[in-house]
Structure 1
Amino acid sequence: MTVIYFVRHAHSYYTADEYHRPLSDKGFNDRDRVTSIFTNKEIHTIYSSPYKRAVQTVEGIAQEHKLQITTIDSMKERILSTENILDFDAAMHQVWSQPTFVFEGGESNETAKARAITALQKIIIGHPNDNIVIGTHGNIMVLMMQYFDAEYDYTFWKKLSMPDVYQLTFEQSVLCDIRRVWEE
């Protein structure tokens, strides 16, 4: 069995610079709680989105297990649009209800899912029987989960916390189980 732990990043300060947006004070406190979940787990590898808030959220796990964090560009959060979105909730509802819809300069759900799933499948195939942590984001995480089970949708995404942690268990490339391991 290969076990993937998706770790949705903790709270961050908002800046327009997606790559360098850091965790907030609350985010750093929650990062310590995330790290504690993995204290007694065997972790073999850590991957992350290249976005600073995702990397910072899994840094404690890496330090605890004396592992490097490998960033994967295709694991970054989906690009909603390069234009200003006036009503974020309405925009999110639209892309989730119309999987091929694209805002100016953005990615559809289908495009973002395909990008991330390609990377995830390489990780699963490359790490049979390993326990892997992936620092990620809400949208892209749920899109990857939805690839395996349609139950993971807009409604599920809306209920996520920040941070959040989900364990996915695979036998080869077949999903066997998904369960939440984060406790608010």
Structure 2
Amino acid sequence: MLPDWRDHLLKTFDDLDLCLVGGESSRAAMQRGVAVVNEILLHNTKTTIIVTHGNLMTLLLKHFHQQIGFAEWQRLTNPDIYNVVIGNDYVEVKRIWQKS
């Protein structure tokens, strides 16, 4: 593990194509996650739950809401829950987990 891994993680949010040795870029990870979401959208379901780790979740949220980034990743709790509503012409992203 890199002692300054948070600095490297920050860079991957600033440069989505940055790929550290042995890893994948944020863009590649995001595309992998978005492919799953797109597959889910092909099915006639009202509600779907996607479970993932914080890094990939933050990248998925960033795909739908460009302002999401490293700061939001830093504020994640474990667990954390976001509600994403995808319509024909809109996407709504809302954090619904409240730490007690």
TM-score by length of 2: 0.88
Per-residue CA deviation, residues 132-179 of structure 1 (Å, 9 max, x unaligned), is 11111111111111112111111111111111000011125x543111
2:29 partner letter: A
Please give the root-mean-square deviation of Cα atoms over the aligned residues, in Å: 1.5
Residue 152 (1) aligns with residue 68 (2) = yes
Number of residue pairs aligned between Structure 1 and Structure 2: 99
Alignment partners' CA distance in 2, 1:154 and 1:175: 23
Q: 1:177 pairs with 84, 88, 92, which one?
A: 92
What aligned pairs does 1:84-103 form with structure 2 within 5 A after superposition? 84-103=1-20
Q: Tell me how far 1:86 sits from its aligned partner.
A: 2.3
Higher-Rg structure is 1
Alignment partners' CA distance in 1, 2:82 and 2:63: 15
C-alpha spacing 1:127/1:87, structure 2 compared with 1 (3 Å): farther
% identity of equivalent residues: 23
CA contact (8 A) 1:148 1:175 kept: no
C-alpha spacing 1:104/1:169, structure 2 compared with 1 (3 Å): same
* Superposition misfits of 4+ residues, deviation over 3 angstroms: none
Per-residue CA deviation, residues 45-66 of structure 1 (Å, 9 max, x unaligned), is xxxxxxxxxxxxxxxxxxxxxx
Name the counterpart of 2:21. Answer: 104
Stretches of structure 1 lacking an aligned partner (at least 5 in a row)? 1-83
Residue 142 (1) aligns with residue 58 (2) = yes
Stretches of structure 2 lacking an aligned partner (at least 5 in a row)? none
2:65 partner letter: D
